[in-house]
Amino acid sequence: MAASEFNQAVLDTVADGIITISGDGRIRSFNKASERIFGYRASEVVGKNVALLMPQSYAMRHDRYLAAYAASGQSKVINERPELEGKRKSGDLFPIEVSVTEVSHAGEPIFVGVIRDITDRKRMDRMKAEFISTVSHELRTPLTSISGALSLMRSNALGGLPPKIEHLVEIALRNCTRLSALVNDLLDIEKLSSGKVTYQMEFWRVEKLVSDAVDDNIGFGETFDVKILAELNGSEHEIYVDRQRFLQILGNFISNAVKFSPKGNSVRLRVSYTNAAARILVIDQGSGIAKEKHDRLFKRFSQVDSSDIRKAGGTGLGLAITKELAEQMGGKTGFDSELGQGSTFWVEFPLVSRDKVAVLKPR
């Protein structure tokens, strides 16, 4: 088999569309997957302008991009993986992911475009988001009513309960709280990925927020016999955040720190300032996290150990939500931890002065 035939055979087995075009935008080759994706035979498109495979609005710009690229070497697509739309022979538009690289052939630039049809992936994403949102809403209503009824029973408003039943009501109520935390996490994740979270950004004194976070979580700490302490020094520095969402971030760090600390221990909150930023640290002396697990931690549904969920409760969504919330408000998150040595989780926001607010709008 000649080398070129061999290469063609390889190209034709690839699942992604691979299209090469010359510097003036004409298609030079079109592999089998491209034929399947776009609905054209290679013989119909080779020699034609690649704009044929794009929606009108983009096709007009593409020639200009090529010309600009030839002049400046700067491209909008090369080395990135943007999501664009492709146009099939039937005229249908569909979502694609494209990456383009440039090679030089006989002194002439050739662009190699790798095209992935992401129609199915998009549809699945949409279905998943709708499913989560429906299920979460449908779960929330009955759950609110169950926990309302149980709270009423426990409150003695209906007369005292026999101790055995009171104990059962406690268990039921605790599990209601867990279930609604899970539903809220699922709703948050869904809203974050579809960009539906709105932020009420305001100036807040960092240390005020930190002491509020401690107050909010002291009760939770008590149930685990873990103290929550703030080490503050009275600084007046301010950050620009949505208060509720910021407290949610610290609340997640604190509740994890509490859950993974031994009884009688303390969790400490501290703020360290640099010129440009305030870093809020939540420090525990609990179990710590093994190095090889570090990469996964801020990903969705990651629990270091599946026994964690039984030991400590939780959904594995908390840190993913935390990271996303912080980033959408212009902050960063991170942690240091060693197995057996405790963990320090932190979130960092730029220090702001009130006249700079315009540049700090959340994404």
Residues in touch with ligand ADP (CB under 6 A): 252, 256-257, 260, 284, 286-287, 289, 297, 302-304, 308, 314-320, 343
Question: Cβ 333 to ligand ADP, closest distance in Å?
Answer: 11
Question: At 92, is the secondary structure helix, strand, or coil?
Answer: coil
Amino acid at 204: W
C-alpha 55/C-alpha 97 separation (Å) is 14
Question: Cβ 247 to ligand ADP, closest distance in Å?
Answer: 15
Helix or strand run (H / E) with residue 27: strand 27-30
CB-nearer residue toward ligand ADP: 311 or 356:
311
Question: Cβ 297 to ligand ADP, closest distance in Å?
Answer: 5
- Structural tokens at position 46: 């080779």
Burial status of residue 55 (CB atoms within 10 A of its CB: 0-12, 13-18, 19 or more): middle
Cα distances (Å, whole numbers) of residue 83 to 6, 16, 97, 161: 31, 15, 5, 60
CB-nearer residue toward ligand ADP: 217 or 256:
256
| 317 contacts: CB under 8 Å, gap ≥ 6 | 185, 186, 188, 189, 300, 301
Burial status of residue 139 (CB atoms within 10 A of its CB: 0-12, 13-18, 19 or more): middle
Distance of CA 218 to the CA centre of its chain: 28
* Beta bridge partner(s), residue 345: 282, 335
CB-nearer residue toward ligand ADP: 190 or 238:
190
Question: Cβ 311 to ligand ADP, closest distance in Å?
Answer: 9
Question: Cβ 321 to ligand ADP, closest distance in Å?
Answer: 8
DSSP state of 215: H
CB-nearer residue toward ligand ADP: 47 or 340:
340
CB-nearer residue toward ligand ADP: 25 or 316:
316
Question: Cβ 229 to ligand ADP, closest distance in Å?
Answer: 15
CB-nearer residue toward ligand ADP: 114 or 257:
257
